[in-house]
Structure 1
Amino acid sequence: MTLIEQVQQQLQRQPNTHFLIALSGGLDSTVLLALLAKLRENQPHLALRAIHIHHRLSPNADDWVRHCQQLCQQFSIPLIIEKVQLVQGMGIEAAARQARYQAIARHIKTQEMLLTAHHQQDQTETFFLALKRGSGVSGLSAMKAQSAVFNLRIFRPLLDFSRQQLWQYAIENQLSWIEDESNQDNQYERNFLRNEILPKLRERWANFDQAVQRSATHCAQQQQLLTELLQPELEKYANKTHRTFDLTDFSQWSVLKQNALLRLWLETLQQPMPSTKQLEQLIQDVILAQSDRNPQFQLGDKMLRRYQQRLYLTEIFADLRQIHIPVILNQPLALPDQLGTICFSQTESAIQVQWQNQIYFLPLTNLPISIRFAYSGKVRNAQGIHQDIKKLWQAHNVPVWQRQRTPLIFYGENFQSAVGFFQNFVPAST
């Protein structure tokens, strides 16, 4: 069976007919583009587009753009060119990968699946990089033919083929491709493996890549089995909608079960996997911390926080305690840190407040109205009893960080209301 016939079989097992092809202009992605264009001749229902990411890293990058444009014109495939800016403070490889997928996410259509040209040798490199990081069976599963990365559905139809097979197809079909000079720079981990280590292993063991692929498959199967066994437990303790994890029985589990369930929960939320050390810190410093504490742990660009017997995955929030916003009636006010818009208007009998699709009513006042996000005094309830505001927050089961993100309404210097939760039952004129 030829290369194109095998790829055709894979596509026929796909419900998708709309594909966005990641095109670097190198050998692998050029072959993928040509294969899809050839298959489309007999399957005109295939909807193809390509995207090329300009990373601004090579002096030849503009030439690569022109090459990709010529290829796509030759095959009558629409091409998207996207220039990206890499995030500072990350390694070049990681920053380029993040920028690449973020750019693709901006352009991919709902019905499209991303196609990448990863092949057998790429799989071996990915396996070894995971081994270098000390990954478990999930990481050693390497790449799957289908997966999701950065919330993108990805299909890798060339994963079972060697680079030699792709090269042979390119030569037979007179394809031209570019060579990225950075592929020879062994300061990059993948290049070091590709250029220095793996050739010697392949020279010693001819079927080395196939053996690595079998090991990756075995790891993937073990991970799948583990996930199936833990799924009922995960459904019992995890709330995906609210991104929380119930810790009621956590201390009764073995360490292995604690680690596995936390990793599985984070995976379902499409979060980066914590290292062994990070997981130990999360458990000891957050989950098993004293009950009167409200600890937190940063993981990537998110924060893990504990409140009572529940672990929360949240954004990293700005400190709003010094914020003081004067209110202008009948004028929408944009709240800080993506908290939305709030609007105050006066009726004959009350001040109406609209926030997050809810309407609240407060007593009339002649005092200036303002919004703040910090208050630590007493509040008088409807029965005339004064309580510390902390007790009221606890009574409403509001986590500590959410208290600091709830608009607090002040009449003059007097606390009047925590919008959506409670108010101070004191005449506004006092």
Structure 2
Amino acid sequence: MSIYPQFLQQISRYYPHQQRFLIGFSGGLDSTALLALFAKLAENQPHLQLRAIHIHHGFSPNADDWAEHCHQMCRQFNIPLIVERVTPTSENGIEAGAREARYQAIQRYLTENEVLATAHHQQDQTETFFLALKRGSGLQGLSAMQVNSCAFGVPIFRPLLPFSRAELEDYVRTENLSWIEDESNADNRYERNFLRNTALPILRRRWQHFDDAVQRTAQHCFEQQQLINELLAQDYQKIYRQSDRTLSLIDFAEYSPAKQKALLRQWLAEFGLQMPSLIQTEQIIRDVIFARSDRNPHFRFAEQQIRRYQQRLYLTPDFADLSRVILPVVPNQRLSLPDDLGEFVLEQRANGYMAKWQNHIQPLPPTTLPIQIRFAYGGKVRNPQGIRQDIKKLWQKHNVPVWLRQRIPLIFYGEHFQSAVGFFENFERVE
């Protein structure tokens, strides 16, 4: 029996008017079924704009062959394919690193009004549920995957969640399609593989409809989490600021521990992040939210940093340390700044210079000294009125968080601090 009618129902229910889909295509069984279903949909709805993306992790010696297989399949279905090579980090585990690298790559290619479609199915849902259970992630984590959701700022559609892997295999075989087998799927050192190959088959042999029960439980958890969010909505709206997606901590101590954890998880869910474990949640509350007022605490989570500044909670990328970077500046030549900070240019004018960086434009006086950009300076400076100030006070006056102070280009004339582009200027260093 074809699964296409049910697939069509998923499209009609969740994205009846959507015209652009980016299909995650590994070349494996599941994503081959997804690609073929979308290709059939496009035959009946020619207005659809489909693309596929294959993430080349480079883990396997067969990775180049897999990419070529994906090219052949996409040519067969007349669907354009993007092949993107990534190098995952393994600091938080190779599985988490690969997942983040995938979504970062997809973010770069996803266009406006385009939705990512992935081939997660019923058995994937069970594995996700158990991994969340192992982490102690709470209701938000146990909600596992939803047909329609968001992760890393990417809108995700999972139309195959109601289907079993066996149903997908029957469909692919019926359509006479080939797929690749990733040899790493047999490596039980990976947690998901251990569940898939060892633990879950035992449970499925014992209970025939085990995956259905897990899916229902995940849905119950999702609905309970939605109810909690509704009950917390008034408090959450008081402390959440949409403009910079930060959380006010001014009255946070007045909430019960359970409410604190719920509000923190709701905030992290805004970013589409995997939910922290109970231990991680308690660490964030203890070591960041309630750290001493004279500290600048941070907690590394999901390849990012949770930080506190002036009684607000921030989630930031894990920025590189630029404190030792020194870049010579040549007037009228564009300079690429490190760690994705964009381009800087110092235009020479008749009466000096004009510094341009991001949306900042700042005039500077002439000099015969070498000009440099640095990203770190601590000490006293003297303003144009001759008043000595600690540069830290200037940063505070401009409400610049601690972690951003090393991401603003500092102009030096020789060894003399001259300006922080876009923030303050014409200060002299005091020896």
Q: Give the TM-score, by structure 1 length.
A: 0.84
Please say if residues 90 and 96 of structure 2, whose CA atoms lie closer than 8 Å, have aligned partners that are also in contact: no
**SS of corresponding position for 1:21:** strand
CA distance in 2, matches of 1:362, 1:83: 42
Please say if residues 140 and 275 of structure 2, whose CA atoms lie closer than 8 Å, have aligned partners that are also in contact: no
CA distance in 2, matches of 1:354, 1:70: 47
Q: Deviations over 1:271-303 (max 9, x none)?
A: 453333233232222222222222233223333
Please say if residues 249 and 312 of structure 2, whose CA atoms lie closer than 8 Å, have aligned partners that are also in contact: yes
Q: Higher mean Cα deviation, 65-74 or 189-198?
A: 65-74
For structure 2, the 5+ residue unaligned runs are none
CA distance in 2, matches of 1:345, 1:2: 69
Aligned residues: 427
Q: Which has the larger radius of gyration?
A: 1
- Could you tell me which residue of structure 2 aligns to residue 219 of structure 1? 221
Shift of 1:46: 3.0
Q: Higher mean Cα deviation, 185-194 or 87-96?
A: 87-96
Shift of 1:89: 4.4
Q: Higher mean Cα deviation, 227-236 or 203-212?
A: 227-236
Please say if residues 329 and 346 of structure 1, whose CA atoms lie closer than 8 Å, have aligned partners that are also in contact: no
CA distance in 2, matches of 1:227, 1:366: 61
Shift of 1:79: 3.6
- Could you tell me which residue of structure 2 aligns to residue 343 of structure 1? 346
Please say if residues 344 and 355 of structure 2, whose CA atoms lie closer than 8 Å, have aligned partners that are also in contact: no
1:269 maps to 2:271: yes
Q: Higher mean Cα deviation, 318-327 or 47-56?
A: 318-327
CA distance in 2, matches of 1:368, 1:65: 49
Please say if residues 151 and 271 of structure 2, whose CA atoms lie closer than 8 Å, have aligned partners that are also in contact: no
Q: Higher mean Cα deviation, 144-153 or 396-405?
A: 396-405
**SS of corresponding position for 2:296:** coil
CA distance in 1, matches of 2:103, 2:288: 32
Structure 1 counterpart of 2:303, from 301, 304, 311: 301
Letter in 2 for 1:261: L
1:12 maps to 2:15: no
Shift of 1:413: 5.1
Shift of 1:261: 1.6
Shift in alpha-carbon separation, 1:361–1:139, aligned structure 2, 3 A = same
CA distance in 1, matches of 2:300, 2:75: 46
Shift of 1:425: 7.3
Shift of 1:331: 4.8
Q: Higher mean Cα deviation, 84-93 or 206-215?
A: 84-93
Q: Higher mean Cα deviation, 131-140 or 277-286?
A: 277-286
Matches within 5 A, 1:10-409: 10-13=10-13, 14=15, 15-89=17-91, 91-324=93-326, 328-339=330-341, 340-343=343-346, 345-348=348-351, 352-362=354-364, 370-372=372-374, 373-380=376-383, 382=385, 384-409=386-411
**SS of corresponding position for 1:160:** coil
Please say if residues 381 and 388 of structure 2, whose CA atoms lie closer than 8 Å, have aligned partners that are also in contact: yes
Q: Higher mean Cα deviation, 194-203 or 123-132?
A: 194-203
Q: Deviations over 1:166-223 (max 9, x none)?
A: 2333444444444434333333322322232222222222221111111000011111
CA distance in 1, matches of 2:339, 2:82: 33
Q: Deviations over 1:337-395 (max 9, x none)?
A: 444414253544x654444433444556666655553141252463x544444444433
Identical-pair percentage: 60
CA distance in 2, matches of 1:76, 1:369: 54
Q: Higher mean Cα deviation, 240-249 or 51-60?
A: 51-60
Q: Higher mean Cα deviation, 100-109 or 203-212?
A: 100-109
Please say if residues 303 and 313 of structure 1, whose CA atoms lie closer than 8 Å, have aligned partners that are also in contact: yes
CA distance in 1, matches of 2:298, 2:275: 17
Shift of 1:148: 1.9
Letter in 2 for 1:296: H
Q: Deviations over 1:243-274 (max 9, x none)?
A: 43221111111112222222222221344533
Shift in alpha-carbon separation, 1:67–1:253, aligned structure 2, 3 A = same
| Coordinate RMSD, CA, aligned | 3.4
**SS of corresponding position for 1:153:** strand
**SS of corresponding position for 1:256:** helix
CA distance in 1, matches of 2:254, 2:296: 21
Letter in 2 for 1:232: Q
CA distance in 2, matches of 1:403, 1:191: 43
CA distance in 2, matches of 1:91, 1:274: 15
Q: Deviations over 1:16-71 (max 9, x none)?
A: 13323333333323333333333333333333333344443445445544544444
Q: Deviations over 1:295-327 (max 9, x none)?
A: 233223333332222223333444444555565
For structure 1, the 5+ residue unaligned runs are none
